[in-house]
């Protein structure tokens, strides 16, 4: 039984080779977004544009040892996923889009697209710093909100106390005024009643 929408076999592939950095290419770096940024991440690979649906990948800078092997494995998984397994119609354009996503920023492998020639463009530059910048902005907003809340509470407490004092003073003044009126009425009323009796 076949489905109504059949998925074509993977038509894209990648192979190791030299990538010309003077032309359009991707740079892949390894690192945690929570512990640094683009400049502190380790360069792992470059990806050149496809020729006959085959991308050229140049592995760089990972060095030797277990951590280098882990970085290379992570890069290979990303390359396999984004260039082949996703089965995008145009993996090159999708990879350019991926450079600008938060998924790219939070991954251990970070993609950045460079346009060849003069004035190379690093599309990850903004995205790679977003987690750190967002965390800093969030921290500042929370501190400002806490400070504002404390100020409101302090002012509110001060104004409530002042309002309470004013209300009590007004109530006391009103009570004194009432007593004076009653006393005055009794004094005037008492005299006129006595005067009538006479």
Percent of residues, the chain, with pLDDT higher than 70 = 74
**pTM for the whole thing?**
0.55
CA distances from 20 to 11, 23, 125 (A): 24, 6, 21
Q: Answer whether residue 57 shows pLDDT above 80.
A: yes
CA distances from 184 to 168, 179, 181, 191, 195 (A): 24, 8, 5, 11, 16
Question: Is residue 38 within 8 Å of 105, Cβ to Cβ?
Answer: no
Q: Answer whether residue 125 shows pLDDT above 70.
A: no
| DSSP class of 35 | G
Write the Ramachandran bin of 52: left for phi over 0, alpha for psi from -120 to 50, otherwise beta.
Answer: left
Q: What is the mean pLDDT of residues 125-149?
A: 65
Q: What is the mean pLDDT of residues 75-99?
A: 91
Question: Is residue 121 within 8 Å of 24, Cβ to Cβ?
Answer: no
What's the CA gap between 47 and 70, in Å, rounded?
19
């Amino acid at each position: 039984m076949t489905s109504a929408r059949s998925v074509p076999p993977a038509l894209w592939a990648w192979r190791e080779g030299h990538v010309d950095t003077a032309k359009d290419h991707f740079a892949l770096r390894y690192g945690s977004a929570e512990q640094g940024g683009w400049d502190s991440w380790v360069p792992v690979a470059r990806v050149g544009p496809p020729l006959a649906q085959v991308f050229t990948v140049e592995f760089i800078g990972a060095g030797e040892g277990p951590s280098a092997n882990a970085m290379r494995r992570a890069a290979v998984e990303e390359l396999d996923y984004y260039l082949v397994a996703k089965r995008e119609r145009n993996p090159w354009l999708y990879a350019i889009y991926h450079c600008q996503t938060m998924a790219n920023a939070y991954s251990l492998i970070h993609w950045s697209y460079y346009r060849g020639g003069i004035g190379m463009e690093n599309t990850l530059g903004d995205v790679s710093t977003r987690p750190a910048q967002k965390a800093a902005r969030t921290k500042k907003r929370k501190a400002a909100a806490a400070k504002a809340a404390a100020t409101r509470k302090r002012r509110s407490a001060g104004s409530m106390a002042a309002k309470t004092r004013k209300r009590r003073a007004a109530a006391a003044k009103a009570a004194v005024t009432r007593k004076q009126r009653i006393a005055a009425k009794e004094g005037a009323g008492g005299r006129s009643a006595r005067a009538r009796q006479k």
